[in-house]
Chains A and B, each alone.
Chain A
């Protein structure tokens, strides 16, 4: 081995005769690099802590409710929210999860565009598809983990608190549902943010555009649902209320969990948005995001005209 700053040419060079994998999970090094990059940021952990806060309140709520229940006042106990209702309420605080997704995802492809790094990546034995999957997964995995882990912790706390056997008798599929429900925000955010990131060279600009779309669309759907409620009825109005990025994420989540907090429809706590439009909207987000990524990810800028 040469000394630092020594001659570059080194006669001790050893040819590499090991395997060169060109099959399998070729996207994984890209995804892993993105995940590691996110975890190296201190602000990521701040946002993770903030995203866990609703579930921390949920646990505190459960402790307080236990104290109330132990007094044995049946009238009070009957009106207390159930764990599932509280879980849905905590899940509904999706904004911190979105900020986690922004932190992880805005630069995912935009930074590569800016550095013209695609030239290098796509000269490696990976395809455009591998690259796009790798980038999507580098956002999906952290967002999924941030969505899922606090729910698992809160649910496990509830299970031990209420007695594991009786809890699972009451909620036999809850853990399975949690794994599914956590995928909803992860899918929506990762595909849309990566899609926007592919069409931009400035990560903060991607963040500004996404936040603007997110909140503006949410406000429009909310105003429209209230404005049109009398004409289209409660059921259509509540679906309209959830017809946005935020709405599709929370609405589908509530459907899967099986409860939803009140949405300003009086006692219509059990009035869910129709699942099909929201599922179609989520699918559209995924397809659009993947399409945006795939159409933009090229090793070279093509000059036309």
Chain B
């Protein structure tokens, strides 16, 4: 478990993060924010590379700054390609394993397993200079998990991966989290992050803007009514009844698609209940119903861009 209590970090006059308090528990948590939001600063505080200017950061109850005891239980995958180009992937992961304190007689097995987990068996003995962006990303993740850390911090781990690679990486991280580990992922690929977790931590200009389940957060954003898109037979018959509902703010028909309508509601839970009653009453044939802005991207947009 990672805890920040009133943590601030300043670089001279520049704010890294400002008075951030939050708890990051086991499972996957997505760390979101625009460039300069403070994501990297938060990661460096958690990985013990920086000391907070004020406040406190703890990992599993211990202060991480320059604390080998914490760092031996923590895996970190940075955004940049931090490699010696003339080493092979296996040599790099081996070095990282030794630096992480893995016992000498265990290193070979651990390295083989980490490389296997990220699907790099066939290229592990090739020089890093010849690696593609996606392969570099995989080998970076391998070095982060080689010592089986309790806490895994990944900075943009999906960058450079193709769709299949992203899905595989998502599977790997979910499997890791399912073993009771804490996984913190910084990413800007929101729809991919959403496939992995609903738990988010949203930073904006150094401050914590939101934390928790993305749907709960969305439901709290009152100033942006939820959009709901419905595909059904004869929407113009049922449309007036929907518009009469107190929870519905507006309704429009799709000119291009005669069977589709889109409405806005301030209270989605109540609307869904009332909508079910109307559908049963009118024996309406509903084909699809979804909310296009009940997702991470919409939450991010509404919270950050207003």
Contact = CB atoms under 8 A, between A and B. Distances in A.
Interface of A: 1-11, 13-16, 18-22, 26, 29-30, 32-33, 37, 40, 111, 115-117, 119-128, 299-300, 302-305
A126 B76 CA distance: 14
B96 interface: yes
B5 interface: no
A10 to B, nearest CB: 5
B179 A300 contact: no
Contacts of B69: 22, 125
B117 A299 contact: no
Interface in B231-264: none
Interface in B8-41: 11-14
Contacts of B83: 115, 117
Contacts of B147: 16, 20
Contact of A7 (B68, B72, B171): B171
Interface stretch (B101-109, B204-212, B274-282, B292-300): B101-109
Contacts of B48: 123
Nearest to A29: B98
Given A16-B147, A115-B82, A10 B116 contact: yes
B99 A4 contact: no
A20 B96 CA distance: 12
Interface stretch (B118-126, B185-193, B195-203, B214-222): B118-126
B91 to A, nearest CB: 8
B3 interface: no
A2 B119 contact: yes
A126 B113 CA distance: 23
B49 A299 contact: yes
A26 B113 CA distance: 23
Contact of A1 (B50, B74, B99, B116): B116
A30 B95 CA distance: 8
A48 B222 CA distance: 73
B224 interface: no
B99 A127 contact: no
Contacts of A10: 116-117, 175
A13 B175 contact: yes
B68 A125 contact: yes
A124 B84 contact: no
Contact of A128 (B12, B47, B66, B96): B66
B86 interface: yes
B171 A8 contact: yes
Contacts of A30: 99
Which among A14, A18, A124 has the greatest number of chain B C-beta atoms within 10 A? A124
Contacts of A303: 11-12, 14
A15 B14 CA distance: 41
Contacts of B121: 1-4
B66 A127 contact: yes
Contact of A9 (B68, B71, B80, B174): B174
Contact of A29 (B72, B99, B110, B174): B99
A126 to B, nearest CB: 6
28 contacts: A2-B116, A2-B121, A3-B121, A4-B121, A4-B122, A5-B122, A7-B119, A8-B117, A8-B118, A8-B119, A8-B172, A13-B179, A15-B148, A16-B148, A20-B72, A20-B147, A21-B103, A33-B95, A37-B84, A115-B82, A116-B78, A119-B49, A119-B78, A119-B80, A125-B69, A299-B50, A303-B11, A303-B12
8 nearest A-B residue pairs (beta carbon): A125-B68, A16-B148, A299-B49, A4-B122, A9-B171, A29-B98, A8-B168, A20-B101
